């Protein structure tokens, strides 16, 4: 029996000298090849139209920082808002999202903090997602806001986002960077981190 | 005939050539329905909704707002899209627009990326180091109670009175209730009112259903 196949997907088909009694070999090879092609299409549908890999986690327990300037603290997440790809496990590490599906990712983070202080004091926050704990890749430059209220603190808010190519296994975290002076306090009362798959690498 | 793979395809054994027509018809039908379903799903994914509202005229006379946002409540400040605005849209079936207090309202279940942008300036005296806040407000009403979420950004004016800011957030719609999105500006410039310039923008893009893989 002498068969050939299509140039793109390699779908086999019989030619004129093929013997009818040997139809089984070509038939099975054809069905298997078609099944493989359909599997590959299904895989694209599964990671796009069916759902995309995404996770959004939040730290909702307020953390108070006292009279310390320019330091960086990893946020510890206690709330999972969405996780379609088993990207977050508080049991493994509550400060990290792990990429399981390689691709281009939109990384989004935000934080809200409360402050005390008086005119002229600097009270700020700088959320920035990082790629792997040992290799920082900040989404935002330092956001240091000044509080000029005479008697009461003001809330400070910050959001940042960026797009990164990430391999499977890459971890993403959020560093909160409170900045205060004197006896002032910064209370980070909410922060969140999200990673959304945008496309293949 | 023998089943092959995971899509319901079949193949013939040797000496089963009498069933060629039957097997080919069966496989053709399987391929037809599978490819059609996949293409429909991909076409829907490819045409995810996007919408953008652009402020047509300056929003002027915005007085300072003294209160901070209390999570879960309405954002203090001025909703920028309570005046005239223009809309750019792609595949926005299920999204409606209102100039009253809501720019967008939608019903499609899933996660949405929402962003805003504005430039602004003081209309008179500049209060040094006073705060500006640009926020996205995302809300829906359940049993007569309106629930608010928000993402905000903050900057502090140094001395010129003119600046710009962006803000982004990722929000969820349950597919049952109507959700609204606003862009809200607030400031503490006590020396004068402020103006948000025309072309401030609020945009929204559908990310996906959030169904677990």
The band of B21, judged by pLDDT with boundaries at 50, 70 and 90, is: confident
Residue in chain B nearest A36 by alpha carbon: B5
Q: Give the mean pLDDT of B32-39.
A: 93
Residue in chain B nearest A83 by alpha carbon: B212
Which pair of structure tokens corresponds to residue A19? 């013997």
For A19-47, how does the pLDDT look when each residue is reduced to its tens digit (9 = 90+)? 777 777 888 889 999 999 999 999 999 88
Report how far Cα B141 is from the mean position of its chain's Cα atoms.
18
**Residue A22 with chain B: CB contacts under 8 Å:** 14
Residue A114: which residues within 8 A CB-CB, separation 6 or more?
A: A62, A153, A155, A156, A186, A187, A189, B68
**Closest among A119, A124, A117 to A184, alpha carbons compared:** A117
For B133-168, how does the pLDDT look when each residue is reduced to its tens digit (9 = 90+)? 999 999 998 999 999 999 888 777 756 667 899 999
Kindly report which listed range (A128-132, B44-48, B74-78) carries the lowest average pLDDT score: A128-132
Residue B128 has pLDDT above 90, yes or no: no
Quote the CA–CA distance of B26 and B47 in Å, as a whole number: 32
pTM score: 0.85
**Residue A148 with chain B: CB contacts under 8 Å:** 128-130, 156
Beta carbons of B151 and A41 less than 8 Å apart: no
For chain A (201 residues), the mean pLDDT of every run of 10, in chain order, is: 76 79 82 94 90 95 73 86 96 94 91 70 67 60 48 71 88 80 77 93 89
pLDDT higher at B205 or A124 = B205
Q: List phi, psi (to 5°) of A73.
A: -120, 130
Print the SS3 string covering A66-119.
Answer: ECCCCCCEECCCCEEEEECCCCCCHHHHCCEEECCCCEEEEEEEEEEEEECCCC
- In the prediction, which pLDDT does A193 show? 93
Residue B99 has pLDDT above 70, yes or no: no
**Closest among B190, B188, B187 to B80, alpha carbons compared:** B187
Which pair of structure tokens corresponds to residue B54? 């652009």
Q: How far off is chain B from A107, nearest CA to CA, in Å?
A: 11
Checking ipTM against 0.90, whether it exceeds it is no
Question: What Rg do the C-alpha atoms of chain B give, in angstroms?
Answer: 26
Which pair of structure tokens corresponds to residue A47? 């990671």
């Amino acid at each position: 029996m002498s068969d050939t196949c299509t140039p793109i997907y390699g779908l086999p088909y019989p030619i004129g000298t093929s013997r009818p009694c040997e139809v089984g070999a070509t038939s099975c090879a054809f069905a298997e090849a078609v099944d493989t092609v359909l599997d590959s299409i299904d895989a694209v549908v599964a990671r796009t139209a069916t759902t995309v890999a995404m996770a959004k986690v939040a730290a909702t327990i307020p953390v108070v920082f006292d009279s310390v300037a320019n330091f960086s603290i990893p946020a510890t997440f206690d709330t999972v808002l969405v996780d379609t790809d088993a990207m977050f496990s508080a049991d493994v590490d509550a400060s990290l999202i792990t990429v399981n599906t390689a691709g281009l990712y939109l990384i989004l983070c935000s934080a809200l903090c409360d402050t005390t202080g008086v005119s002229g004091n600097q009270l700020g926050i700088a959320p920035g997602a990082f790629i792997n704990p040992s290799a920082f890749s900040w989404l935002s430059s330092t956001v240091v806001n000044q509080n000029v209220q005479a008697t009461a603190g003001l809330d400070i808010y910050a959001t940042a986002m960026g797009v990164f190519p990430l391999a499977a296994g890459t971890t993403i975290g959020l560093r909160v960077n409170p900045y205060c002076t004197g006896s002032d306090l910064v209370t980070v009362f909410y922060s969140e981190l999200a990673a959304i798959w945008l496309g293949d690498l | 005939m023998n089943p092959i793979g995971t899509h319901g395809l079949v193949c013939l054994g040797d000496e089963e050539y009498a069933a060629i027509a039957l097997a080919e018809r069966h496989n053709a039908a399987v391929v037809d329905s599978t490819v059609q379903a996949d293409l429909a799903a991909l076409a829907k994914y490819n045409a995810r909704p996007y919408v953008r509202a652009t402020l047509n005229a300056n929003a002027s006379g915005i007085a300072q707002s003294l209160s901070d946002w209390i999570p879960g409540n309405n954002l203090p400040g001025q909703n920028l899209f309570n005046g005239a605005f223009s809309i750019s849209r792609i595949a926005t079936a299920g999204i409606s627009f209102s100039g009253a207090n809501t720019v967008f309202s939608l019903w499609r279940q899933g996660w949405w990326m929402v962003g805003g942008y504005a430039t602004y300036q003081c209309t008179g005296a500049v209060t040094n180091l006073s705060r500006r806040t640009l926020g996205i407000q995302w809300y829906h009403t359940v049993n007569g109670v309106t629930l608010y979420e928000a993402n905000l950004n903050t900057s502090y004016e140094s001395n010129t009175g003119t600046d710009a800011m962006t803000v982004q957030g990722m929000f969820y719609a349950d597919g049952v209730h109507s959700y609204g999105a606003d862009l809200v500006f607030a400031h503490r410039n006590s020396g004068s009112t402020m103006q948000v310039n025309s072309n401030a923008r609020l945009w929204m893009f559908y990310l996906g259903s959030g169904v677990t893989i």
